Amino acid sequence: MKKIFTLLAALLVCASAFAQKWEGLAQTPQMGWNSWNKFGCDINEQLIKQTADKMQELGLADYGYVYLNLDDCWHGSRDKSGFITEDENTFPSGMRALTDYIHSKGLKAGIYSDAGVQTCACRPGSLGHEYQDALVYANWGFDYLKYDWCFTTDVNPKGAYRVMRDALRAAGRPILFSMCEWGSNQPWEWAAEIGHSWRTTGDICASFNDVQHYDDLGNPTWKAQGVLSIIDQNEPLRKYAGPGHWNDPDMLEVGNGMTVAEDRAHFTMWCMMAAPLLLGNDLNTMTPETFAIITNRDVIAIDQDPLGIQGFRTAKNVGGVEYWFKPLEGGDWAFCILNRSDSDQKVTVNWKKFCLDDEISGRSTGFDKIVYDMKNLWDAKAKPATTKRNLKVTVGTHDVAVYRLTPAGEK
Ligand code: GLA
């Protein structure tokens, strides 16, 4: 008998040592739409179906936005056996019908839960029901799970996220695992083998440079962070990100109330940081300016570059202006000037001052030896230019100028 127990224990240890997340997903940062930033708890199947229709009509999947994700508040209660059900009032046709609809539009479907007893909006959490929940999501046909961190007193973060990873694996359907514990337990240090992305910050709000306190969830110490505050928190974590495991500085607020320049800067900086690109606006009332921002293929290509190297800044906030680089495939670089200040800034870039070696990618800009062709990614009318000459440009307040540099030959 003792031998059998020892054998079983050994098998269990081996099984958990070999448990893996679903590999091959999120080889580039995931892209899609999520209900939370605009609609919060006010979601229902009509909204989700309309959003699916709109994503198809606008061809968003062709730009890379394939996931249509429900956030908090889709839940009903648990049945007698502990299986979770959908809210019958807001999702009367059921989740299987909804994912069928989403899939019929050429999209993938995402769902949301929480590692604690309740979700952040006080719906049932997954604690103690992880394997049941993963099975239900797989049976319903979901392809993506965002897993939050509210109501987790005494829950071990690494353990909790591992349990759900293993449950998803055991359920048998490839499901992208998006961890959302806000960076509270430094997930970048331990989560690459668990999730496909992990939040690095608290919640974003549609503001460029504010930090807003909010206590509507009974947590007055919580702050919603603006774009700049999030960038500053996410930037130092670049060495932890790569294909299949991304730093997630939260979902996009493009189209939710910032100025067009701020939206453009926000979107560009998320691309410079190889962040997941999850739209958070109302697609049905989107302005042409918002559409133009989220569908700029050249800027999206920076985010989706196959090397998957997060960009970095060279100097912090010199007179409100920052210079960012991101190594891209084929010897290219993305180069971005971010103007954090409250006034327009005239900038002269002397390339030689940016001869730098990036330890993480092992790449050098080599401006003293290499000449690059420059493509201005937001200004299609800009004259062709190279790095032979200094770059002179005015960057508007709370805006960016971003270029793709391609080696054109030796100096
Ligand atoms: C947390 C998450 C948000 C959102 C809400 C839902 O605050 O960080 O992204 O999912 O919960 O309640």
- Three-state SS sequence of the chain: CHHHHHHHHHHHHHHHHHCCCCCCCCCCCCEEEECHHHHCCCCCHHHHHHHHHHHHHCCHHHHCCCEEECCCCCEEEECCCCCEEECCCCCCCCHHHHHHHHHHCCCEEEEEEECCCECCCCCECCCCCHHHHHHHHHHHCCCEEEEECCCCCCCCHHHHHHHHHHHHHHHCCCCEEEECCCCCCCHHHCCCCCCCEEECCCCECCCCCCEEECCCCCCCCCEEECHHHHHHHHHHHHHHCECCEEEECCCCCCCCCCCHHHHHHHHHHHHHCCCCEEECCCHHHCCHHHHHHHCCHHHHHHHCCCCCCCCEEEEEEECCEEEEEEECHHHCEEEEEEECCCCCEEEEECHHHHCCEECCCCEECCCCCEEEEEEECCCCCCCCEECCCCEEEEECCCCEEEEEEEEEEEC
Residue nearest to atom 4 of ligand 1 (CA): 36
Residue 16 clears pLDDT 80, i.e. is over it: no
pLDDT of residue 9: 57
Report CA-CA distances (Å) from 27 to 146, 274, 306: 17, 11, 8
Residue 31 clears pLDDT 50, i.e. is over it: yes
| Cα 191 from Cα 214, distance rounded (Å) | 28
High-pLDDT (> 90) share of the chain, %? 90
pLDDT of residue 216: 53
Kindly give the distance from the C-alpha atom of residue 121 to the centroid of ligand 1, in angstroms, as a whole number.
8
Kindly give the distance from the C-alpha atom of residue 203 to the centroid of ligand 1, in angstroms, as a whole number.
7
Average pLDDT along the chain: 94
Strands 246-248 and 31-34: unpaired
The pLDDT tens digits for 272-281 are: 999 999 999 9
Residue 368 clears pLDDT 50, i.e. is over it: yes
pLDDT of residue 10: 56
Residue 8 clears pLDDT 60, i.e. is over it: no
**Whether 253 contacts 265, CB under 8 Å:** no
pLDDT of residue 179: 98
Residue 183 clears pLDDT 60, i.e. is over it: yes
Tell me which of 72, 148, 332, 358 is the catalytic residue. Answer: 148
| Cα 126 from Cα 129, distance rounded (Å) | 5
- Kindly indicate the confidence band of residue 6, based on its pLDDT and cuts at 50, 70 and 90: low
pLDDT of residue 411: 79
Catalytic residue check, 203? yes
Kindly report the backbone phi and psi dihedral angles of residue 403, in degrees, each rounded to the nearest multiple of 5, phi listed first. -130, 150
Chain centroid offset of residue 363 CA: 25
pLDDT of residue 319: 84
With a 6 A CB cut-off, is 321 part of the ligand 1 pocket?
no
- Give, for ligand 1, the residue of 38, 75, 120 to mutate: max count of ligand atoms closer than 8 Å to Cβ: 120
Residue 217 clears pLDDT 60, i.e. is over it: no
Among 219, 337, 208, CA closest to 272: 337
pLDDT of residue 210: 85
Residue 56 clears pLDDT 80, i.e. is over it: yes
The pLDDT tens digits for 372-385 are: 999 999 999 999 89
Among 180, 308, 153, CA closest to 248: 180
Residue 105 structure tokens: 């539009």
Beta bridge partners of 339: 321
Residue 395 structure tokens: 């960057």
The pLDDT tens digits for 67-90 are: 999 999 999 999 999 999 999 999
pLDDT of residue 215: 55
With a 6 A CB cut-off, is 36 part of the ligand 1 pocket?
yes
Catalytic residue check, 154? no
pLDDT of residue 14: 47
- Kindly indicate the confidence band of residue 333, based on its pLDDT and cuts at 50, 70 and 90: very high
- Kindly indicate the confidence band of residue 220, based on its pLDDT and cuts at 50, 70 and 90: low
